[in-house]
Amino acid sequence: MFIDSAKIYVKAGNGGNGMVSFHREKYIAAGGPDGGDGGKGGDVIFQVDEGLNTLIDFRYKKHFKAEPGQDGGPSNCSGKNGENMIIKVPLGTMVKDEMTGMTLVDLIKPGQTCIIARGGKGGKGNQHFATPTRQVPNFAKSGDLGEERNLILEMKMIADVGLLGFPNVGKSTILSMVSAAKPKIANYHFTTLVPNLGVVQIEQGKSFVIADIPGLIEGAHEGVGLGHEFLRHVERTKLLVHVVDISGVEGRNAIEDFDTINAELEKYNAVLASRPQIVAANKMDIPGSEENYQAFKEEFEGRGYKVFGISAATNKGLKELMYYVSDILSTLPDTILLDESREEEVVYTAEGEKPFEIRIEDGVYVVEGSWVRKVLGSTNMANYESLQYFQRALRRKGVIDALEAMGIEEGDTVRILDTEFDYTR
């Protein structure tokens, strides 16, 4: 089954918590703090696997979680780092954030890897908080949470040449004649249900990849027919071979068909419609095709297109067409992306989340945020020094000033996560 899009959820591992521990040994009365640090959580990493050609694996498994880091131990022992989660995807996979629609990375190179969700840092053990005036720190830092996100995966085939045209004009037959690909071929519309790739060998050491895209019809950019589902696979091609049925046996007009398909490309993506095109007038073996071809060739050579009269069924003209395609490809850039201003790879960089946000809910001042969650998790509420550290951290970060700016009064309730405090000046 050919699957070229999927939605998945990924979660990097949380960092391990730092430990509160004190050295205990015979004849050593005050060994001091020796709580170890927590381990780093595992990352979620996407990796290109050239052996894959579909996203079908993500139809059955949609949740991916990396291993969390282990908590720190006594005797200054650090926790073990969590194992990374490696997710293998086909070449040409684009990874997008479902919430923002932003492209995180475009995996277009063999073996390419990218960290999509970073694991949380491990928390510091209490050994780090000893000072000349705080010799018995009874608190440690908790580990950071790992990043999590919902993703959209879209696979776009990597091909040099794309075959375009209405259904049943002979694209699959051309592919089967010029390469070793064996697409399903029959004399009815929409025989081709999925894109097919083939390698055309021109001579020793000289070849290119050609893609047969399911036939487009009028309204394809709006979802009519089958081809609209696979238009994304034409986007990476450097050159388009536009196949038309020159015989007219189905009552079609080759000139109108050409203009209709190009109008659909323009509506789908203007950059795609501007790609170089070569016109292949197929089914020249059918009686009456020669007369149609002469009028067609005169019209399109007047428009500046190179036109080839071919018969895919009898292999007539295909060699000349493929050699010409190879020559044109050698003059085109190696990689053409739809957004010419975008780099080949857009590596995701996490934007700094606000350290805290404050809202009023039923008269209670609710403080939320990743930083607040972390500092509260590192606080030992039963220890005076730890509470003092917590209060100083809130003031340094601006939480107290923000509460006062919102009009908090003496005795008002402040809620941080599930813990409530009475505000005092």
DSSP string, 308-371: EE-BTTTTBTHHHHHHHHHHHHTTS-S---SSTTS-S-----PPPPPS-EEEEETTEEEEE-HH
Check residue 181 and give its pLDDT: 58
Cβ atoms of residues 8 and 64 within 8 Å: yes
Check residue 230 and give its pLDDT: 62
Cα distances (angstroms) measured from residue 260 to each of 192, 280, 283, 289: 20, 16, 20, 21
Each residue's pLDDT tens digit, 123-176: 999 999 888 888 888 888 888 889 999 999 988 777 788 888 888 888 888 888
Strand order in the sheet with 44-48: 85-89, 44-48, 113-117
Check residue 160 and give its pLDDT: 86
Assessment of whether the complete model's pTM goes beyond 0.75: no
Cβ atoms of residues 120 and 69 within 8 Å: yes
Each residue's pLDDT tens digit, 284-315: 988 888 888 999 999 999 999 999 999 988 99
In 3D, which of 218, 145, 43, 175 has the Cα closest to residue 375?
A: 145
CA–CA distance, 32 with 84 (Å, rounded to integer): 34
Single-letter amino acid, residue 294: Q
Which stretches in the chain have pLDDT values below 70? 1-2, 181-194, 205, 215-233, 334-353
Check residue 377 and give its pLDDT: 76
CA–CA distance, 243 with 266 (Å, rounded to integer): 17
Cβ atoms of residues 192 and 214 within 8 Å: yes
- DSSP for residue 262: H
DSSP class per residue in 94-133: EEEETTT--EEEEE-STT-EEEEEPPPPPPPPGGGG--SS
Cα distances (angstroms) measured from residue 375 to each of 22, 140, 355, 393: 22, 10, 11, 8
Check residue 287 and give its pLDDT: 87
Check residue 226 and give its pLDDT: 47
